[in-house]
Amino acid sequence: MSNKEIDDRFKKFGTVSFTSQSKINDFIDYLEQGKVTGTKCKDCGLKFFPPRADCFNCLSSNIEWFDVSGAGKLLSFSKLQFGPIGFENDLPYIIALLDFSDYKVFGRISDKISEDDLQVGMDMKVVTNELPNGQLNYVFEKA
C-alpha cells in the first residue's frame, strides 16, 4: 500500500461502521481470514480485547496479535426490539458479553440461536460472520 492511499479498512466492521481509520486495521484482514484477534503488549504481556495499538500499562506501542479461541462464559445479554438508524434490517438481535477470564469479548449472538436457548454462564465461542450487506463482524455460537 503506497503512502498516499488512505488505509480505511476498518469501515468494513459491523452493520454500520463509524470508524474507517485505525492503527489496528489488520483486525479486518484477520476477520476476512476467519480469525477474531486481540492484541498483547510485547513488553508487559497485558492482553487487550478489543485490540489496541498502544499499552496504557507500560506506554509501549510494541504489540502482537493473538487469536480469540476456545470457550468464553456468557456474562449477560439483551434482545433489542428497537435499533439505531441503519440497523432496522437486523432487528430483533441480541447483544452479549463473553468472559474468557484474561479478557472479555462484546458482540452479538448468532441469529441461529433464539433467546430462550441462552443462559447466563453457558459456554460460547466467537466466530467470524459476513452480514447480508457485505460487512464483517463476529458472532457468538454455542461452544
Partner 1 sequence: MGNVGIIGVGQSAFVRGYPGSIKEMAFEGFQEAMQDANLSSEDIEASIVCSAPEYDKQRSPAGVISEYLGLIPQPTCYLETLCSSSSMGVRMGYSLIKSGLHDVVAVLGFQKMSEISSAESQERMGRGADIQWESPFGTMMPAYYAMYARAHMDKYGTTPEDLANIRVKASSYGQINEKAVYQKAVTMDKLSDPESKMAGPVASPLRVGDCCPNADGTSCIIMVSEEKAKALSRKPIWVMGVGAASTAVNLPGRDLFTGLTVAQNAASEAYKMAGISSKNIDVAEVHDCFTIAEIMAYEDLGFAEPGKGPELIRNKETYKDGQIPVNIDGGLLSKGHPIGATGGSQIRTIVQQLRGEAGGMQVKDPQIGLVHNIGGVGLYGNVTILGR
Which residues here bind partner 1, judged by CB under 8 A?
Answer: 10, 13-19, 22, 49-50, 75-87, 90, 93, 95-97, 103-108, 115, 120-121, 137
Q: Which residues pair with 107 in a beta bridge?
A: 96
Is 99 one of the binding residues for Zn ion (CB under 5 A)? no
Is 43 one of the binding residues for Zn ion (CB under 5 A)? yes
> What Å distances lie between residue 45 and 48, 57, 105, CA to CA?
10, 10, 18
126 binds, among partner 1, Zn ion, none (CB under 5 to 8 A by kind): none
Q: Which of 19, 32, 44, 115 binds Zn ion (CB under 5 A)?
A: 44
- Cis status of the peptide bond prior to 92, with omega within 30 of 0: yes
Binders of Zn ion: how many residues, by CB under 5 A? 7
CA 114 – CA 91 distance, rounded (Å): 13
